[in-house]
Structure formats: C-alpha cells, structure tokens
C-alpha cells in the first residue's frame, strides 16, 4: 500500500514537462559542444582526426542530456514555497512583463521587419529593390509625374522611401538610406499588428489578465510569423492602420463620442489618401469600409451618425485637397492606374493555386480558407439561433463579420498569385480573425472560472518554462543579433552605393554612364528599376517595367513612346531577365510587340558581363543570303511542337570576311522575315575551331529560345540569321525550315 501511495504522488506531467523543457533549453548549447581531438597519439587517421573532434564529444553530450533533467527536477520540486513564491511575485509583476515583452518585441522588430532589406548587403534583387529605387528619377525630373509614370504599388511604397533618402543623403549612400526607410515602413506595419491585437482584446471585453494576454498574443504573433502567415510589411501599412482605426472606432463609439467623431473623420480621410500610398490595399479597405457602413446601420443610432458624418467629411476634405494640390489631370491619371491594375493585374502575375493536400506546405494555401469557411458556418447557424432576426444577429456578430470581410478581401493576394510568399500574406487577416475568436472563447468560457483554478507555484513555473521554450524557438528573439544589427546601423547607413552593387552592375554602370548622361531618359526591357536609379534617368515610357506592360494596349504605348523619344541606348537583356523569374515565360513572348519593335529599331552595341546594351539603328536592316559557309543550325525540330513547349535552336555562326563569330543571331517568322527573337552568342565551340582551323571562331556558338507561345497553330516558316554590326546586315544561316505548332 505504501508503495502504491508513493507512486501515486509522482506527477507524470511534471516529469514530462521538466524533461522536455530542459532538453529544449539545452539542445542548442549541446549541439555546439566540440571537444578538440588534440595530438593524434593513436596514429589512426579517421574522421575524428581530420575534423579535429574527439570521440568523447558525444559521450559528454549524452551525459549532459541524461543527468541535467533529474537535477533540475530535484531542484525545482524540493524548493521551499517561500523562495518560489517570492520569485513568482517578481516574475508576475506588471512591470516585469512589460519590460521583458518590450525587449523581446523590439528585438523581433529589429531582426525581422527592420531586416527585410539588409542595409549594407550587396544588392542582388535588382527587380524588387528596383521597385523602390527606379521611380525616383521620374518624380524628380518629369513634370506631372503621375501622368507620365505607371506605378506598381503606389507613391508611398514605390517613391517615398527613395525620395526621403535623396533629401537626407549627405554622401553617395542613397541605396542604404532608402533601405532604412523601407524597413521603417515594415516596422510601422508590424506596430499596427500589435495595435489590432490590443483593440481585439478590448472588443472582446477581457478584463482579467488583459495586459498579459496582450503581451503573450504579440509574442505568439511573432512566433507564428512565417508558419501560418507572413507579415506583408510596407505594402500593408495603410490597410493595417485603417483596420486598427476602424476597430478602435467601434470600441469607443458609445463611450467616448468626441474621440470617435475624430476617428471617423480620420478613417474617411484615409480612404482617398491611401491611394497615394498603395493601390490594391486602398481598394481592399474600400470593401471593408462599405461593410462597416452597412453594419453600422444595425448598431445604435449614435454610432451610425458618428460613422457616416465623420467619414464622409474626411473623404470630401481630402479629395478636395488632393484635387487642389495635384490637379484633376494627375488625379485622373492615378484613377486610370488603379483601373489598369484592377483590369489586368491578376492576368499579369497569375500563378495557379496548387492542389490542396493534407501536407504542411499545402496548409499555407487552404488553412485560411478553411477557417473562413468554418466562421461562415458558425454565422449561419447563429443567424438561425437568433430566429433570423437580422438586427440582433448583426449586433452580436458585427465584429466577426467585419473581420471575415477583411480576411476574405485579403485572400485576393493568395488567389491572384498562388506562390508560398503571397499565400502567407493572404492569410494575415485570417490570423487576426482567429485571435479574436480565441479571445471570445476565453471571455465566455475561461475568464469567469479563473478564480476557481488553484494553480500551484510549481505549475506556474512550468507554464513560464513552456512560454520560455516557445520564445527560445523563435530566432528573431535573439537579443545578441538584434543588438549587433542596431549598433552596426550607423556604419551600415554610410555605405556608398558603389559598395552595394554587384561587380557586373558596377562595371556596366561606369562604362555606359558617360553615354547615357547625354540622353534625356533610359529604358530597359529587363524590368530592373535599379538601372533608372543608377543612371539617374527617368523611364522613356510611362511603363518603366516591361513585366507589367503585358497587355496589348500597354505594349503599344511603350512602342509609341520609344519611337517618339528614340533613346540612343537601351538595355535588352542579361543572364536572368530574358524570361520572367516566377513563371519562366520569355520576354519575347510576354512582351512580344515591344521585343520585336526593339529588334527592328535597335542593334547590338555593348555586352558587359551578361548585360546586353543595344543602340538605336538609324538605318533599315539589310537581309542577305550567301553561298559561303557562315554557320549551321544543328537542332531543327522535326515533330510538331505544342504552343507551350520549350523549344531551343542551337548551332554556330561566323562572319567569314571578318574572321570572327557573328555579332548576334536572330530568328525570323514568315516570308516577310519578321524578327521575333535574338539568341545568346559567344558560346564556346572548340569543334568549329578544329574543323575550320581558325582559333578566332572559338566562341562562335549560339542558342535561341523560340517564343512558341506567340505562334498560332499551324505551319510556320522560320529562318535564322547572323548579324554583322559593321555592315548592319543580316545573312541567312542554312535553309529555312517549317515549324508546326499544335495546341
């Protein structure tokens, strides 16, 4: 009997939690243990001696992991209550929670949103970073820039950071300063997330442990970032602040009338002003605003009046002010851009939703849909419980409906472009909906029963250990790294632009800058805004990014502007940007009209590393044929090709009279010799050198990617041409061939 009683006293939960907690704390440190091998007295050459690690290393790890948990358990379970109680009083003190949580959240802000674009790292993403660098010359040098510029996101995202950096830069450090302001926009957005959590906790009428619940929620939000959702940074700034303002309005509308009135004015003012920051999120909030307006009709009359009166005043005042400052023509241009993205945006960057599966990766796509669907089921059942009385149903569920609407609208990010990154962003508002539902559950099921729970000091310590373990699993809570980044910030901000550029970009910039300085503008088909920033030239077309000029009307606009301005030098391609990175569609397909126009009005000029610059061709191209051997096509397709198949032609080509490889190799379509593609040249061909006995032909190889997507079904006559820059002449290589395209 005594043995059974003794066994009954053993707390299995405590054993498991203490062992697990100790392991999770120890493992990161244990992994780093490495006992040096020392002098090789055994004479054995093995992995131990080569890696300089003693075989006793793993024994030490085993002993630590084996013995530490029972030592900790003995210490914890045998401590007297008074010391434990004293420790818990300090830990549970309001200021302790505020201090520790503030340090953790500040560290997360530094390590995650403030570190999205590392200030002193080499600029490798000339596309995304070019988005907030490349539009600056347009807004500094062009009259009425909104008319002459198609922004990708909006002024606040695409221009404001680089504009602030330019005005504050004291040396050639514009890129570093721009990254600073971009990261600050990220931080502001994340502070908005915390604000929303605070408003939701108060809207759930939580009173007991409200501060602790808020701080724990913020910490968990940081931990779950990158697991179930991902902060959308600067792109979500305006929407998140607008949503927080809206939630606060509904929280205080009946208790603090004056503040609520000003909030409604601010919310209304934010609607037109948000279009200056970012286009798509501004549209999202209009849907949320309309939903909130409808819901307010079912709330107390005072709330309804405050909402409509204040918000309409804000909308009208800011709209009038915008018209005065920018003029009708620029406001109309902004509206046109919004309509352009609304009409074509989802087609330009669409990536289909992958099959939904019960896997961890797949949950990023379907979990938020599942949560929204479950909430909708709950609302329908609750509507029935209210006996289909609309007013009482709305009054009890208007916040859930508002958050569900916001979450559904935000899902457009996932549905229009279903890669992992955008799926994470689309799930963000659903996370807030889930937090609110948890708060309601806590309020209704747990808060009233807290006084009945008798939590022992040991259990409190175990709960704190679990929270500590969760915190330790989040790398962004690493205080040491956060302090390092913060202390290195002044030096990072002084880094010059030249030190941040990749060597090939730096070389191309320095080589071409004297010539491009003579131009009034510049244009690149690579969709890298970085070039506009480096050359300090506005885009020669309002569509500075060819990637977003896929619609026929946009391509025609680019062609018209290039033909009118006639910039002398443009950039055609480089090693990455001959195709779109995410869907692998060739530029000769997605922007075929622009591409073909450039092939006929420009000619190859300089190749610096992989950057291929072309020069305006003031003379028409001459098409010739020759009986002299000038190359060969080695991979002519003999079978029908599907319209979306990848097809490459390859071979070699030379200019016999000049004893050198061809300057370029073109592909033409039809009897009229419509140029549709240009290939990669200077590919090593030692076999050609051997056969022709001429070492100058060493790099005579070429390869052309055929733009099959632009070819309609049927037979097409194709020709390959070698180009001679000196004579501005195309000479056919081999014979023409037929290419059959099928669906």
Write the secondary structure of 465-504 as one string of H (helix), E (strand) and C (coil).
HHHHHHHHCCHHHCHHHHHHHHHCHHHHHCCCHHHHECHH
Within a domain: 320: yes
User: How does residue 1 score in pLDDT terms, banded at 50, 70 and 90?
Assistant: very low
Residue 518: C-alpha distances to residues 531, 542, 598, 702 (Å) = 15, 20, 20, 33
Quick one: 263 and 124 in the same domain?
yes
CA distance 738 to 719: 9
Quick one: 320 and 387 in the same domain?
yes
Query: What per-residue string of b and e applies to 365-387 under the rule 16 or more CB within 10 Å gives b?
Result: bbbbbebbeebeeeeeeebeeee
Quick one: 63 and 138 in the same domain?
no
Contact 599, 668 (CB under 8 A): no
Quick one: 93 and 181 in the same domain?
no
Within a domain: 710: yes
Q: What is the pLDDT of residue 537?
A: 97
Instruction: Please report, in angstroms and rounded to a whole number, the separation of the first and last CA atoms in the chain.
Output: 83
Is the model's pLDDT at 3 over the cut of 60?
Answer: no
Is the model's pLDDT at 300 over the cut of 70?
Answer: yes
Quick one: 441 and 558 in the same domain?
no
Within a domain: 214: yes
**Which of 378, 413, 447 is the last residue before a domain boundary?**
447
Residue 197: HSE in the Cβ half-sphere, 13 Å Cα cutoff: 23
Quick one: 594 and 648 in the same domain?
no
**Does an H or E element contain 405, and which?**
helix 390-410
SS3 239: helix
Q: How many other β-carbons are positioned within 10 Å of the β-carbon of residue 151?
A: 28
Residue 583: HSE in the Cβ half-sphere, 13 Å Cα cutoff: 15
Interval 417-438 mean pLDDT? 86
Radius of gyration of the CA atoms of the chain, in A: 32
Our count of domains for the chain comes to 4
What one-character-per-residue DSSP string does 335-388 give? Answer: HHHHHHHHHHHHHHS-BPPPPP-SSHHHHHHHHHHHHHHHHHHHHHHHHHHTTT
Please indicate whether residue 37 or residue 199 has the higher confidence score (pLDDT): 199
Helices (H), 204-278: 210-224, 237-252, 257-277
Interval 565-574 mean pLDDT? 96
**Mean pLDDT value across the chain:** 90
Quick one: 44 and 142 in the same domain?
no
Name 624's bridge partners.
Answer: 731
pLDDT tens digits, one per residue of 643-696: 888 999 999 999 999 999 999 999 999 999 999 999 999 999 999 999 999 999
The number of helices, as runs of H, and strands, as runs of E, in the chain is 32, 14
Q: Domain of residue 15: give its range.
A: 10-104
Q: For the chain, what percent of residues have pLDDT higher than 70?
A: 93
CA distance 665 to 680: 7
What one-character-per-residue DSSP string does 92-105 give? Answer: TSHHHHHHHHHHHH
DSSP state of 712: P
Q: For the chain, what percent of residues have pLDDT higher than 90?
A: 70
Contact 571, 612 (CB under 8 A): yes
User: How does residue 630 score in pLDDT terms, banded at 50, 70 and 90?
Assistant: very high
User: Given phi > 0 = left and psi -120 to 50 = alpha, else beta, which region is 609?
Assistant: left
Contact 276, 153 (CB under 8 A): no
Interval 305-328 mean pLDDT? 96
The token duo for 386 is: 């209210």
pLDDT tens digits, one per residue of 344-385: 988 888 877 778 777 777 777 888 889 999 999 999 999 999
Q: What is the pLDDT of residue 83?
A: 67
User: How does residue 594 score in pLDDT terms, banded at 50, 70 and 90?
Assistant: very high
Quick one: 129 and 273 in the same domain?
yes
Is the model's pLDDT at 5 over the cut of 50?
Answer: no
DSSP state of 603: E
Please indicate whether residue 444 or residue 138 has the higher confidence score (pLDDT): 138
Q: What is the pLDDT of residue 451?
A: 67
Within a domain: 353: yes
User: How does residue 72 score in pLDDT terms, banded at 50, 70 and 90?
Assistant: confident
CATH code for the domain in which residue 675 is found: 2.60.40.10
Interval 134-139 mean pLDDT? 97
**Which of 60, 85, 104 is the last residue before a domain boundary?**
104
The token duo for 493 is: 């901000």
pLDDT tens digits, one per residue of 209-259: 899 999 999 999 999 998 888 888 899 999 999 999 999 999 999 999 999
Contact 668, 721 (CB under 8 A): yes
Within a domain: 66: yes
Most confident of the ranges 281-285, 638-642, 690-694: 281-285
Quick one: 416 and 509 in the same domain?
no
SS3 586: strand
Place of tokens 């070019």: 130
CA distance 273 to 275: 5
What one-character-per-residue DSSP string does 47-65 give? Answer: HHHHHT--THHHHHHHHHH
Quick one: 591 and 665 in the same domain?
no
Within a domain: 458: no
Interval 165-176 mean pLDDT? 91
Name 724's bridge partners.
Answer: 729
Place of tokens 């549209």: 283
Helices (H), 656-724: 686-692
Interval 273-302 mean pLDDT? 96
**Which of 73, 104, 135 is the last residue before a domain boundary?**
104
DSSP state of 621: P
Predicted TM-score of the model (pTM): 0.88
Quick one: 357 and 395 in the same domain?
yes
Within a domain: 27: yes
Is the model's pLDDT at 472 over the cut of 80?
Answer: no
Q: What is the pLDDT of residue 12?
A: 66
Quick one: 193 and 305 in the same domain?
yes
Residue 68: HSE in the Cβ half-sphere, 13 Å Cα cutoff: 18
In this structure, the strands spanning 729-742 and 641-642 are: parallel
Within a domain: 465: no
Helices (H), 126-207: 128-131, 136-141, 155-158, 160-168, 174-203
């Amino acid at each position: 009997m005594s043995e059974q009683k003794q066994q009954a006293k053993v707390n299995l939960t405590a054993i498991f939690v203490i062992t697990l907690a100790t392991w999770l704390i120890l493992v990161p440190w244990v992994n780093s243990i490495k006992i040096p091998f020392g002098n090789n007295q055994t004479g054995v050459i093995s992995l131990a001696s080569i890696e300089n690690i003693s075989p006793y290393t793993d024994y030490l790890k085993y002993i630590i992991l084996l013995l530490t948990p029972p030592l900790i358990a003995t210490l914890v379970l045998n401590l007297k209550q008074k010391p434990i109680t004293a420790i818990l009083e300090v830990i549970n003190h309001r200021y302790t929670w505020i201090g520790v949580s503030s340090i953790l959240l500040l560290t997360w802000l530094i390590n995650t949103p403030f570190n999205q674009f590392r200030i002193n790292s080499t600029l490798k993403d000339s596309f995304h970073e070019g988005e907030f660098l490349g539009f600056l010359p347009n807004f500094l040098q062009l009259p009425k820039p909104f008319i002459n510029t198609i922004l990708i996101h909006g002024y606040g995202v695409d221009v404001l950071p680089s504009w602030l950096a330019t005005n504050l830069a004291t040396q050639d450090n514009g890129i570093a300063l721009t990254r600073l302001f971009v990261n600050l926009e990220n931080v502001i957005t994340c502070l908005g997330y915390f604000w929303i959590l605070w408003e939701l906790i108060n809207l759930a009428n939580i009173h007991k442990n409200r501060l602790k619940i808020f701080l724990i929620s913020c910490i968990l939000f940081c931990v779950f970032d990158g697991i179930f959702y991902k902060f959308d940074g600067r792109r979500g700034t305006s929407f998140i602040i607008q949503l927080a303002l809206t939630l606060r309005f509904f929280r205080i509308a009946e208790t603090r009338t004056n503040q609520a009135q000003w909030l409604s004015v601010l919310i209304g003012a934010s609607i037109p002003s948000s279009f200056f920051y970012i286009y798509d999120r501004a549209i999202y909030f209009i849907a949320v605003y309309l939903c909130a307006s409808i819901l307010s009709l079912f709330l107390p009359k005072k709330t309804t009046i405050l909402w409509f009166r204040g918000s309409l005043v804000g909308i009208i005042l800011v709209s009038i002010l915008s018209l005065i400052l920018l003029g009708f023509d620029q406001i109309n241009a902004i509206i046109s851009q919004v309509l352009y993205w609304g009409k074509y945006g989802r087609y330009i960057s669409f990536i289909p939703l992958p099959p939904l599966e019960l896997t961890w990766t797949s949950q990023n796509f379907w979990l938020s849909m599942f949560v929204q669907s479950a909430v909708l089921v709950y609302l329908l059942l609750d509507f029935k419980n209210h006996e289909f009385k609309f007013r009482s149903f709305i009054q009890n569920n208007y916040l859930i409906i508002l958050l569900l609407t916001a979450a559904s609208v935000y899902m457009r990010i996932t549905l229009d472009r279903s890669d992992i990154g955008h799926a994470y962003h689309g799930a963000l508002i659903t996370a807030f909906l889930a937090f609110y539902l948890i708060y309601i559950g806590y309020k209704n099921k747990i808060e009233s029963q807290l006084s009945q729970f008798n939590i022992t000091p040991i259990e409190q310590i175990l709960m704190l250990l679990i929270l500590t373990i969760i915190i330790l699993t989040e790398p962004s809570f690493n205080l040491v790294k956060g302090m390092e980044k913060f202390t290195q910030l002044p030096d990072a901000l002084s880094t010059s632009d030249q030190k941040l550029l990749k060597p090939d970009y730096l070389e191309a910039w320095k080589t071409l800058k004297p010539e491009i300085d003579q131009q009034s503008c510049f244009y690149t088909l690579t969709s890298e805004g970085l070039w506009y920033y480096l050359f300090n030239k506005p885009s020669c077309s309002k569509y500075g990014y060819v990637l977003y000029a896929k619609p026929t009307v946009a391509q025609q606009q680019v062609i018209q502007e290039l033909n009118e301005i006639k910039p002398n030098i443009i950039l055609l391609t480089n090693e990455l940007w001959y195709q779109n990175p995410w869907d692998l569609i060739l530029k000769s397909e997605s922007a075929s009209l622009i591409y073909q126009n450039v092939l006929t009005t420009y000619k190859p000029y300089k190749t610096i590393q992989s950057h291929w610059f072309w020069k305006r061709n003031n003379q028409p191209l001459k098409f010739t044929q020759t009986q002299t051997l000038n190359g060969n096509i080695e991979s002519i397709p003999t079978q029908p090709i599907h319209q979306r198949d990848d097809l490459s032609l390859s071979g070699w080509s030379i200019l016999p009279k000049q004893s050198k490889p061809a300057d370029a190799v073109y592909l033409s379509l039809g009897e009229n010799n419509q140029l549709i593609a240009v290939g990669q040249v200077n590919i090593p061909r030692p076999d050609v050198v051997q056969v022709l006995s001429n070492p100058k032909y060493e790099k005579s190889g070429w390869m052309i990617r055929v733009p099959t997507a632009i070819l309609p079904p049927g037979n097409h006559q194709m020709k390959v041409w070698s180009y001679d820059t000196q004579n501005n002449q195309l000479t056919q290589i081999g014979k023409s061939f037929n290419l059959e395209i099928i669906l």
